[in-house]
Structure 1
């Protein structure tokens, strides 16, 4: 049993990993304490996220921050956050204010700062009440689909509209999250289990912070976003648990806007469904460290903020309208409805059943999540939470005309839900988005391939009762789900004659083919054959990307370099390779010839284990040369560079590489967890680095060896085994109301 809760006022305890366990006498005091702790443990991280939300990173990072700052200002992230905060109910607004008061108290008490601030010659600044909502928007504004629509627009403009479907990647860019639940009827304890791992950029420090939040109303452990109150995505209290994956829903639209200007009075109008409409216009200045400040124009139409121009379109004339320019506006639910979903966060912590979890998340807006919830009474439920606008299906594919009445939003899509009598698996796949009711077409267009979901289901259906140990083993499964079409292509090659106009395979290439056909398909770090497969796959993707049919895509796309990852031809060919394997011949690509040539390319490369190439590539945004200093430094005796990793894109252990571009993994499991509803002492968690965001702390990267080895740490719940931290809090000026029925 968990030891009695602490007596007295707000207190901070630490476990052996330095993870904060926070106790307070009320939910409002606890929010204050969580904000204060985030400001102390993750000071530079939350400062950078705040500046991202305000479009002010160039002030400390220099010109490298300009691309983001332009976008953040034009997309009006900070203003959207403020609108969402102002629209909150009183209780949620006060609770969020308490969190911000905690952050600002750490600043007032001189508890922020660190080497990053010193290197940037910068200081942390006070937060606004709405800043946490801006931080959350920063994490998710590029999380959905609108950058994919930019790429499809580039394909349509370059290769023609019919070519878009060949890049329909039932393998969207950078999807790898898993979550699954086992009903108590299939577990050793008789109570449900939930497990999984979210996938994001491997930022240092990590995007998730392990934390315990306890007060008389609830006692929850989980993963928090530093700078955001509560446990929005992953948590377990004494009665209920929840976890999410990206539902891959399409809820962001790009509109092609036609603008006309009256230079005499400085007004701008946009052509809408009913004619010309006024456009909100203002100018803002972006400060640049070591450079010249930049002034930008910020425009917003009735659809949303203008974020880009339409490439390769000069000012045009029509008989009726005179001259106009074409730009792209972005419409998202959070700005359209002035709601982000923070009303769900406090009720989520208070949840005591799956009904409570679902009721709390009924207020959720974006991103749209695939939620798995369970409770100690034995119920398991799988449902989608968020807002998907109802509109023309064409909106999901490409930017659509702003002046078309048939492309405007009209209500919202009903999202699926289902009770789970056995197993629930969600891995960014189409079936998870559709639940039991359909194939997900009402929610989105592109989903992850079913490989990970099928493999997790296979590993769960073993015909015996399952325990925590079984969940841990699933996390580290390295079988490559996308191998069959590659193997079929290799098998179709005749080593002596690979097709018209092609030379026979060399002896070296033929031997490589035989080895790959005999390989077991596991992307283990110590596997030489996995390394050979990755070398051949990379060579094949590069040949596809430079094939004369696709080569025109390398022409300048005209969009901001910020969107470069979504518009890289080699990257897109790598992510769409399964579609291209199935349909590339329709484009006129001789797949056998390209595969054989890639075998020749790979056979000339040195043989290495997969892990030699597939190493950890952490991302740490720093000014000056501090990033170089950190990347070569050992933290807590743990070296941050050269960590060999098993797994790959389309493995359950989805430590992603970028075929044809980068074998190192800069995106992968940013946390792993197991929630045991029978006894929370059996629950487990891990993050890639550590609890502290302060370089030099012994907890900066002390979890890295366990994470790299696929191990998880036990969650400590006994207060008397934790170490109290000396702490004096300032006054809590606001209080969240108690639970209401």
Structure 2
């Protein structure tokens, strides 16, 4: 909003949703205690602003002053943080494929979750369903998809029950995976008063601990559920005497229009017009304004009761209260894990998932047809949940939530089981030796074995190369166990091989241009599809199923030989013959970039935190996903790691990749990164007798 660089991409998208008007309506409907929390937070922000002669450096650089912080601004911060975590981009991606390719080509690209892969509910259950068949849905979409105009538009957690811990009480650990924002997306926070004493990770600009934290009785954490609570509608539009109208069930109604101004750089303002139909806010019109795309989203469609829940969580006294409080949670849909000092622990898939036609799940649908309306939400009592399971632990890693018997639609896409499988294997392996303590819980954060790497290198080892230069490079993989260690060369060879393998297979299924677009796209549309499709390639290769084998190759081995040589040639050309330069840590690094550093390159060294070499990739619990565009620049990683010990809160640990301050000049701006990169953690001090022995005091004086 401050920079407003040509109102591009997300700026235009957010502007069309008129977030401020939306959150003002939300705030008006909140209950008394929630309102008091947001008002008190805003009062605190404004008290600080009024007491200081200087503001953070970002305001000096942009020559801006800050308006008074309003309670609904807190809601806007939270809502904007999560809009892009939905699945609507996948529907745009599928519709773009449908416009370019025949249905018989596309059905092979959308087959759903792999059979015999882990689901979350029931615990340790393997998915047992036949492959999806999208033929019916794609055929239906073809009846109207030409009306669609082009629009520009991961985490782990685990809880171990008390029967498997030395303390006899549950222990929770995990790490959220996001882009490495600067300053950090999560702020380490501890707030205590007569009513509550809560510690955890909060969002700067929004009070409470909606994702990770504990009070004196209950701990909680989340991973992203990937549920589908965002739909796109194609709208029929007409202009009658200057009044824009849309059609629904044969009747025409005026678009709801709102005009407002946004402050931008150098004191200027830009006027934005937002339009709304009964289905939601319009994202884009076609060239002649006869069609539009509207966006229905659970968090903006009606009053968002989830902002009450953020306050209620703080007061929860046990697992029952915490779970019941989730009845009003709206967005984002999370895998929500909790544990209390009584020894109870559990899981619930919290959030509102609408009930609607199955076609809504696949592509944008006709906004003029009531068949595609929302008809309530999945009932709270029917949401997937677990309590004190017999196996003694729960694992969530963005993998599929319910098994094949679950009666409601939640989502088409989910992460492959790789991370969930590795975490599960680590837990089972440790339980054969003994019970968990804080050290063994935290050790799971360091898990860097890649299941896809193990499968692909097993096939690469079978190749007999005549050229000694290739056979020498093959040796790096011979005894490799799939560990994406930053000190190894093998992960670099494997990663380049896998990129080229995906491109070759997808080019055969579609064409090279679409393959490039899929491999190099941003957002959550094409990349999510690539993740699912690539996992299916791995599964087929592991079973020697040649259905996806490109034309011109006799078997997977013949394809692998060619791809391996191409990969090695690229790496030699790029990094030379010094194999130290090939080590994963030399090419696979974090690159946190401050929002203003591109505008003020002379200050980038002060604004940008240091880069670090890291182990892992997007398939390992120690997560460090990278971009194909700027291989192998880390674009998603653990933006916090934590472990909550319910038996002894002072034994809990945490770490963030930057620091506890958002000020580039602070010594705490990025100091934790040096520990984070080596998988170390710091104490999460909770008891005040412990805190008073270790604190640093800063008094904020009035100006």
TM-score surpassing 0.5? yes
Aligned-partner Cα distance in 1 for 2:20–2:559:
48
Compared CA separation, residues 337 and 539, structure 1 to 2 (3 A): same
1:360-509 superposed matches below 5 A: 360-413=325-378, 414-421=382-389, 422-430=392-400, 433-434=401-402, 438=405, 442-461=409-428, 462=430, 463=432, 464-487=434-457, 490=460, 495=464, 506-509=467-470
Task: Please name the residue that 2:195 is paired with.
Answer: 217
Q: Can you list the C-alpha shifts for 1:399-456, whole angstroms capped at 9, x where unaligned?
A: 11112222110111131112123101111111xx22x795696311111111111111
Question: Which stretch has the larger CA shift, 677-686 or 110-119?
Answer: 110-119
Displacement after TM superposition at 1:83 (Å): 1.5
Q: Can you list the C-alpha shifts for 1:451-491, whole angstroms capped at 9, x where unaligned?
A: 11111111112221100101111001100022354246536
Compared CA separation, residues 294 and 125, structure 1 to 2 (3 A): closer
Matched, 1:133 2:75: yes
Aligned-partner Cα distance in 2 for 1:707–1:180:
19
The gaps in structure 1 that reach 5 residues or longer are 1-55, 316-323, 497-504, 558-562, 731-741
Matched, 1:520 2:493: no
Aligned-partner Cα distance in 2 for 1:586–1:532:
25
Structure 2 counterpart SS, 1:482:
helix
Aligned-partner Cα distance in 1 for 2:231–2:350:
19
Matching residue within 635, 639, 646 for 1:666? 635
Question: Which stretch has the larger CA shift, 64-73 or 457-466?
Answer: 64-73
* Counterpart contact for 2:476–2:489, Cα < 8 Å: no
Displacement after TM superposition at 1:687 (Å): 0.4
* Counterpart contact for 1:169–1:576, Cα < 8 Å: no
* Counterpart contact for 1:63–1:291, Cα < 8 Å: no
Displacement after TM superposition at 1:170 (Å): 5.6
**Which has the higher relative contact order, 1 or 2, with Cα contacts under 8 A spaced 6 or more apart?**
1
Task: Please name the residue that 1:201 is paired with.
Answer: 179
Task: Please name the residue that 2:522 is paired with.
Answer: 565
Task: Please name the residue that 1:73 is paired with.
Answer: 15
Aligned-partner Cα distance in 2 for 1:268–1:564:
34
* Counterpart contact for 1:154–1:553, Cα < 8 Å: no
Aligned-partner Cα distance in 2 for 1:111–1:280:
43
Q: Can you list the C-alpha shifts for 1:372-399, whole angstroms capped at 9, x where unaligned?
A: 1000110011111110001112111111
* Counterpart contact for 1:615–1:664, Cα < 8 Å: yes
Structure 2 counterpart SS, 1:253:
strand
Structure 1 counterpart SS, 2:78:
helix
The CA RMSD over aligned residues, in Å, is 3.0
Matched, 1:251 2:251: no
Task: Please name the residue that 2:41 is paired with.
Answer: 99
Matched, 1:680 2:680: no
Displacement after TM superposition at 1:657 (Å): 1.3
Matched, 1:621 2:595: yes
Task: Please name the residue that 1:308 is paired with.
Answer: 284
Task: Please name the residue that 1:654 is paired with.
Answer: 623
Aligned-partner Cα distance in 2 for 1:377–1:556:
52
Task: Please name the residue that 2:248 is paired with.
Answer: 272
* Counterpart contact for 1:334–1:365, Cα < 8 Å: yes
Task: Please name the residue that 1:8 is paired with.
Answer: none
Compared CA separation, residues 292 and 379, structure 1 to 2 (3 A): closer
Matched, 1:719 2:691: yes
Compared CA separation, residues 570 and 245, structure 1 to 2 (3 A): closer
**Length-normalised TM-score, structure 2:** 0.83
Compared CA separation, residues 669 and 627, structure 1 to 2 (3 A): farther
Structure 1 counterpart SS, 2:692:
helix
1:534-545 superposed matches below 5 A: 534-544=495-505
Task: Please name the residue that 1:30 is paired with.
Answer: none
Task: Please name the residue that 2:59 is paired with.
Answer: 117
Displacement after TM superposition at 1:578 (Å): 2.2
Aligned-partner Cα distance in 2 for 1:628–1:389:
49
Task: Please name the residue that 1:166 is paired with.
Answer: 109
Task: Please name the residue that 1:14 is paired with.
Answer: none
Task: Please name the residue that 1:39 is paired with.
Answer: none
* Counterpart contact for 1:525–1:611, Cα < 8 Å: yes
* Counterpart contact for 1:251–1:332, Cα < 8 Å: yes
Structure 2 counterpart SS, 1:662:
coil
Structure 2 counterpart SS, 1:230:
coil
Matched, 1:330 2:306: no
Structure 2 counterpart SS, 1:566:
coil
Task: Please name the residue that 1:9 is paired with.
Answer: none
The alignment covers a number of residue pairs equal to 633
Displacement after TM superposition at 1:595 (Å): 3.6
The gaps in structure 2 that reach 5 residues or longer are 115-153, 573-578
Task: Please name the residue that 2:147 is paired with.
Answer: none
